[in-house]
Chains A and B, each alone.
Chain A
Amino acid sequence: MQFMKNPAQAAHFFLVILFAAGFSGCSEDPNPVGAGLLPSSDLLKLDTLSTFAIRSSGQSAIPLASTTRLLVGKVRDIESWGVFRFSSLPDSVAYMKILSAEVILRANYHFGDSLASFSFSVHKVLQSWGTDSLTVDSLTAAGFYDANPMSTINLPSVGDTASITIPVDTTLIRSWGTISDTTLQNFGILLRPTNSQVVKGFAMFGASDESHRPRLLMRFLREEFSRIDTLILSKGVSRFGARILDASWISDSARIYVHNGLSYRGVLEFDISSLPAHAAIHRAQLELTLDPSQSQFSSYTVDSTVAVYSTSDGVALTEIFGLSESFLSNGTRIHRYPVGQFVQRWVRGATQRRIIIAGLGEPEGLDLFAFYGAAAPLSLRPRLSIVYSLIQ
């Protein structure tokens, strides 16, 4: 205890002891000791509610802006038009003579007859457009594009890894100006389908494989050197617009339809008034039964759909969603969605209790999912199963 004769050392000693004691204590996970003291109101009591959709319908949506594929073609009553625009030319070629220009597109998808002939006309776009707002109606409207085609492409068939070349009028290229121009004149090129048995998909500017992206290949004459130079542009934006010419199936009350490409979505409405107002939702699952006879898929189908939360004014709140899990039950394909977050919001006072069903491949393909709706036989109706507890 010699050190104890020095008060400063003593103070240090006791502080160190206390710190050591404090730090030694942090090994704390809850364990069952004392659990028997807890009042029963603290403990979770699970209850369940199973309910069916009371209404089903459908709605058209503006397709997502980001797409890595351009769909062009026509099959049965579906047609899709494509539009794309390369980035502006560099200033260095402003005064060079353009000898030739062509667009090279690489195919990566088909919907319909893969061996059918494929044809389309190439048009100059006359109006400015944006990828987040262009709809099929504005895309196909008169005045959006020059009705006189620059060229028409007729191909016997296009394989799903083949490339096609579209010649482009050099005067069109020159009319686009260069990057330093203050007025945008580059509105791009429109592809209008003229075939009838297939919709082809082409890799676009967001394709993960850069070699698959569209290329604008131009050849210039450099007169001072009497030499021909080549310039390739592979950056730009694109958009497709698809529509269905005979939409009579929309009035089918026994089913909801989810059509990729067309961005047509199913809408379900539920009544959960029997759920207590202070319920905590621990699990809510929506199950939809697929009607394969009314669905249309291809080898490229992304076999997933997504449940999206619908705001009170019917807008899809895409950040709140549940991705489907697909499985077979007694030979019937079921899509099941986790929608706990939806129901939790409903319980907290959301006035509309609707769920929008969209295709995960909505911007990439033309698949059609037909699910049984609110007017279907009970065993096939959309079912919502909820496990909840009451918050104390």
Chain B
Amino acid sequence: MTRHRRRYLRVLGFLGLSCFAAFSIVFAGGSSYSRFGVGDLLRYGGSRLDAMGGAGIALLGDGFINRLNPAGLSRISRTRISGGLEYSSYFSKDSKEEGRYSRAAFKGVAFAIPIDKDYGITLLLESSPYSYVHYATQVRDTVVTQDFFGTGGLSALSFGGSVTPLDKFSVGFKLNYLFGRIRQFGRFGFADPTFLDSEISRSDFHSGFSFTAGAIYEGLSDLLNAPSLSPLTLGFVLTTPTTLSVERESVFSTAESFDTTATSSGKVDVPLGFGFGASYLLASRYYLTADAYHQSWGSAKFFGVHPAELRNSTRVGVGFESLPQRETASFLQRVAYRAGFYYNSTYYTFNNSPVDEWFVTGGFGVPIGPEARINIGLHLGFRGTTSNNLQRDTIFRLSLSLSANEAWFIRIEED
């Protein structure tokens, strides 16, 4: 493949990402669960980890940017760029109704720039979605049809890096700027034409900082004098709690008027989050990974009050990856194959009924050049239950990311 062609593919890939970022605001609908808290929490580690049950806290490597644990950047040898997007489809039902929704969303972009390979010093600049709100539901009677929509969510803009201060021990950190606007709309259409159809919208802009620190240890075999554990790595990641400042604006509008009814400010807690992970490289060919991550939403306050719909969340996942063979002519053997499973006791709870989710995952890493891959992740799973006035979501997600060593920063003589 010529250099021009590779560049063409990269440009094509990022054009695709950009287009999806634009399209993502067009689609409506989603699960009503995202009405609560700061919306559905996204724990995005990239499409590679997405396909492995989202388990990658302990993964080190040169071929990807570990967006779950900054310590995982320490093996990157060349400037790497990664960007992703996701298409998700929801089939939701409650005790009476059912409906389908779908959406597409940009999943952020990350740059990793190695500074010193011997000490594992790598800088990270990352933009990732943190949560999203996307719902559309309706309450209807003979007087008024009430449509409720929610859009937006939080994003994280992070700057950090990794270092390997001791042999087989890497640490990483990143400073996260959490920000984003969550909009909630109520649209009221009256059967009686003498009533003014109206809309109430509430817009909350959140902003605040948190700090993430992570570590990965590869020396357990030495520590325990157990050579069989040499392929084992352990990882740990922690994100500090923070309090986001929220600027709120409420607007009431009709066909005749547009009225800003209230502006206020408040605080929203984002609690401590921490997780553990392990990975095991079997026969130098197969990765097995496992993660657990916990966040203490059970005591978080929103505008001074703890929402009854929130509880502590815990997520556990396991993953598998068959590493590609590099020195082979077979394209299929150069593809990475991944699978996984995860269970998440989400931070939602209603009427003493917790909302849990289960997903099976899978995916591929398709080479598109010597150091570039398109990673495809698939999720299929369930969330919630139709009992106790809740809803059950059957969710399909297709994520795609482009991960490449970037030659843009290296001067190459033209042919």
A interface residues (Cβ-Cβ under 8 A, vs B): 1, 4-5, 7-8, 10-12, 14-15, 18-19, 21-38, 42-44, 46, 278, 280-283, 285, 338, 340-341, 344-345, 348, 387, 391-392
Interface of A, secondary structure class, is mixed
A4 to B89, alpha carbons, bound, how many Å?
27
A78 to B391, alpha carbons, bound, how many Å?
73
Interface flag for B169 (CB, 8 Å): no
Which of these binds chain A: B63-71, B119-127, B316-324, B361-369? B361-369
Would B250 and A43 count as touching, CB distance under 8 A? no
Interface flag for B138 (CB, 8 Å): yes
A122 to B400, alpha carbons, bound, how many Å?
87
Which of these binds chain A: B154-162, B210-218, B253-261, B337-345? B253-261
Would A280 and B9 count as touching, CB distance under 8 A? no
Residues of chain A within 8 A (CB-CB) of B198 are 280, 282
Would A19 and B94 count as touching, CB distance under 8 A? no
Would A25 and B186 count as touching, CB distance under 8 A? no
Would A7 and B92 count as touching, CB distance under 8 A? no
**A149: min CB distance to chain B, Å:** 51
A21 to B399, alpha carbons, bound, how many Å?
11
Would A8 and B261 count as touching, CB distance under 8 A? no
Interface flag for B148 (CB, 8 Å): yes
Interface flag for B194 (CB, 8 Å): yes
A348 to B252, alpha carbons, bound, how many Å?
11
Q: Per a CB cutoff under 8 Å, which of B87, B100, B139, B195 touches A32? A: B139
* Further pairs besides A31-B99, A32-B96, A42-B184: 9, Cβ < 8 Å: A8-B368, A11-B12, A33-B137, A34-B137, A35-B94, A35-B139, A278-B262, A391-B200, A392-B200
Would B32 and A28 count as touching, CB distance under 8 A? no
Would B9 and A8 count as touching, CB distance under 8 A? yes
Q: Per a CB cutoff under 8 Å, which of A25, A35, A344, A392 touches B103? A: A25
User: Given known contacts A26-B27, A31-B138, A282-B195, is B261 in contact with A37 (CB within 8 Å)?
Assistant: no
Which of A7, A27, A29, A387: most chain B Cβ within 10 A? A7
Would B13 and A15 count as touching, CB distance under 8 A? yes
Q: Mark B354-394, 1 if CB is under 8 A from A, else 0.
A: 00000000000011110000101000000000000111000
Number of A-B contacts (CB under 8 A): 188
User: Given known contacts A8-B5, A283-B196, is B101 in contact with A34 (CB within 8 Å)?
Assistant: no
Q: Mark B28-40, 1 if CB is under 8 A from A, else 0.
A: 1101110110000
Interface flag for B413 (CB, 8 Å): no
Would A278 and B97 count as touching, CB distance under 8 A? no
Would A5 and B250 count as touching, CB distance under 8 A? no
Would A18 and B400 count as touching, CB distance under 8 A? yes
Residues of chain A within 8 A (CB-CB) of B111 are none
Residues of chain B within 8 A (CB-CB) of A12 are 12
Q: How many residues of B contact A (CB 8 A)?
A: 79
Q: Which residue of A lies closest to B34 (CB)?
A: A34
Residues of chain B within 8 A (CB-CB) of A32 are 94, 96-97, 99, 137-140
A282 to B259, alpha carbons, bound, how many Å?
13
Interface flag for B85 (CB, 8 Å): yes
Q: Per a CB cutoff under 8 Å, which of B26, B32, B195 touches A38? A: B32
Which B residues from 35 to 75 make CB contacts under 8 A with A? 35-36
A345 to B260, alpha carbons, bound, how many Å?
11
Would A42 and B186 count as touching, CB distance under 8 A? yes
**B6: min CB distance to chain A, Å:** 9
Q: Per a CB cutoff under 8 Å, which of B16, B35, B257 touches A37? A: B35
A24 to B257, alpha carbons, bound, how many Å?
36
Q: Which residue of B lies closest to A15 (CB)?
A: B16
Would B186 and A44 count as touching, CB distance under 8 A? yes
Residues of chain B within 8 A (CB-CB) of A30 are 28-29, 136-138, 147-149
Which B residues from 299 to 351 make CB contacts under 8 A with A? 331-332, 350
Residues of chain B within 8 A (CB-CB) of A26 are 26-28, 102
- What are 8 A-B contacts defined by CB distance under 8 Å? A11-B12, A28-B27, A33-B94, A34-B94, A36-B390, A278-B262, A280-B252, A344-B259
**A274: min CB distance to chain B, Å:** 19
Would B16 and A18 count as touching, CB distance under 8 A? yes
Residues of chain A within 8 A (CB-CB) of B33 are 34, 37
Would A33 and B148 count as touching, CB distance under 8 A? no
Residues of chain B within 8 A (CB-CB) of A7 are 1, 9, 331, 366-369
Residues of chain A within 8 A (CB-CB) of B259 are 344, 348
A25 to B13, alpha carbons, bound, how many Å?
21
A37 to B389, alpha carbons, bound, how many Å?
7
A371 to B273, alpha carbons, bound, how many Å?
70
Would A33 and B391 count as touching, CB distance under 8 A? yes
**B27: min CB distance to chain A, Å:** 5
Q: Which residue of A lies closest to B260 (CB)?
A: A348
Q: Per a CB cutoff under 8 Å, which of A14, A29, A33, A283 touches B92? A: A33
